[in-house]
Amino acid sequence: MSEQRMYPGMSPEEKTTFAPYSAFDIPADLRELTGRYDVEAMARRCRNFRYAEEWMMMLLGGWVATIPELPVKTGLGKIIWETAQAADVLGKRLPELRCGKKAVDASESANAAFATFIQSVCEPERPDLTIEKLAGVFDVLMPHLVDVYEQTMRETDQICDAPTIELLDEIVRKRRRHIAWGREVLDRLSEGEALRERRRVRVAKLNEELHASGGVTGTLGEPRGALN
Amino acid sequence: MKRFIQHEELARDSRFVRQDNAQSTALASLPDDVEMVVNVFEQFSPMIEASVRGTSAEPLFDAYGPGFALTILNEPLDPDAPAGLTRLLLRMHGIFVGELQALEGAARSLWDFPDAPWEFKMNMARQAWDEGRHVQIFEKLLSHLGGEVGMFPESTFLFECACSEDPAMRVAGVNRGLEGLACDVFRDMIKYAEKTGDEKMKQAVDYVLADELTHVRFGSEWVREFTKDDPEYLKRTQEYRRTVDKQFSFGGARSDREDAAIPIAWDDRLEAGFTEEELVDLAELSGSGPSKKTLIEAAKILRERHAAKKNASKSSPHEGVQS
């Protein structure tokens, strides 16, 4: 241990002492102050994410009464609540990103094509279309959101934008559980080649529409080198 | 996906048997007149018989005739009474399907009212999770008592009455009418569980009751919020809730009368945000149906006529065959 050093105060009476730490006491912070998104770009992303989460909550709520399978109805209850919480924390991040106090319920689609894609996910209504309903959410929309959230967490500034990383991390943790549940249900519902084919057709159609829209942020097709 | 669905559109798996809601509607508006009650039930007899066929209620129909529901609804639960377990299961199954419809009502509010305030959506989303858990809880309690899903027919009367297309009336109907009824029923179930020493049922229903108080509070707050600065709208919403409360009193079975099968849970309702004035009003409107004496008398006549009909068809097996 090195000798105690004096803190440079205003006068000798005011000086305090502290024990200096060596370079080995605390691991060096190797993070760099750099990120792909500035404040405005991250606020836009949060509004885009919130749009997807809010719509997902609403459409799952609409479907509960139209789905005959009892364990699916009850299982969706919890997912609806956790989706609402995801939209809520994304909204609460917006005032922190200089969007104003009233921005907590601001949702925004990245473009018209993504809004149309969401309406396509909402389309199935009849009770015999549980496969089409769940495939749209658990095979297409949710996995897409997880991919984009993870990419956002990797690419944003790890120190400056840590609050966004924290909230996305928590959403992704729950989303993984939702996707596992949804896919297990879909596997059980899609026993037999004809039913599996219905699931494949639905997934292919929606994936095509999703990619054409550019996804939740509208930037899926853009070169990754571009900032924001 | 369209906004607003009818109760007939509620999706069910193959275990469920649907009952026509006309019977519940008629029961909710019966006068205190034995002959009138008998006439209504005789008129509904073919419909009641068809809805119980193949379910655990079929033996009850065989024994008591079309008025079996009068006996079930209007007697407090008693483990030592004849058919005590069947009556307990019938009530438990009724609660189970009630929770299912409450789940559908709350979840549907998220889709039906896309422009509602965000906090409203958060409350409805939370309620959807709670109701989903309640369905799971009552499915397990049903099984705990030896019952199963679909053993009795389901009436979608609760959804039909409570799910208005107006947001203030929806929360007044679902969160104050339906969830208020749940407070009454669950307090009664807790007392029954205490009486029989069923700790599992007592603890589970106690947790559910705690959730219901929260849901009633959601309703009280959102009725106030949706109707603020519009006394006329508030008046219409209160009238709607009174109509729902009258229907959910099942002709006085749920009331503040001394002979009520399901007493009003006065303390729980006060804690949930109902005012004394509202509860006095509820006690008055729920107690105005046929008296227990009338219903017992009607049930007795219906049982006798049903038995006579059965005996007549037994003694003349070739009745209706042309000679």
Retrieve residue A75's tokens.
Answer: 């299982």
Residues of B with Cβ-Cβ distance to A65 under 8 angstroms = 5, 9-11, 104, 107-108
pLDDT band, residue A7 (cuts 50/70/90): low
Picking from B6, B7, B13 by the largest number of A CB atoms within 10 A of its own CB, the best residue to mutate is B13
CA distance B134 to chain A (A): 9
Helix (H) or strand (E) holding B295: helix B292-315
Q: Which of A16-20, A41-45, A80-84, B308-312 is least confident?
A: A16-20
pLDDT tens digits for range A112-171: 999 999 999 999 999 999 999 999 999 999 999 999 999 999 999 999 999 999 999 999
Report whether A94 contacts A47 (CB < 8 A).
yes
pLDDT tens digits for range A73-123: 999 999 999 999 999 999 999 999 999 988 998 999 999 999 999 999 999
pLDDT tens digits for range B26-82: 777 788 899 998 998 898 888 888 888 888 888 888 888 888 877 766 677 888 877
Report whether B109 contacts B172 (CB < 8 A).
no
User: ipTM of the assembly?
Assistant: 0.90
Among the partner-chain residues A65, A75, A80, the one whose CB lies closest to the CB of B10 is A65
Rounded (5°) CA angle B270-B121-A114: 175
CB contact under 8 A, B11 and A68: yes
pLDDT band, residue B259 (cuts 50/70/90): confident
CB contact under 8 A, A70 and B135: yes
Nearest of A91, A97, A84, A85 to residue A162 by alpha carbon: A97
Task: Specify which residues A18 forms β-bridges with.
Answer: A5
- Residue with token string 């027919």: B153
pTM of the model: 0.90
- Over residues B220-237, mean pLDDT: 96
The DSSP secondary-structure symbol of B177 reads I
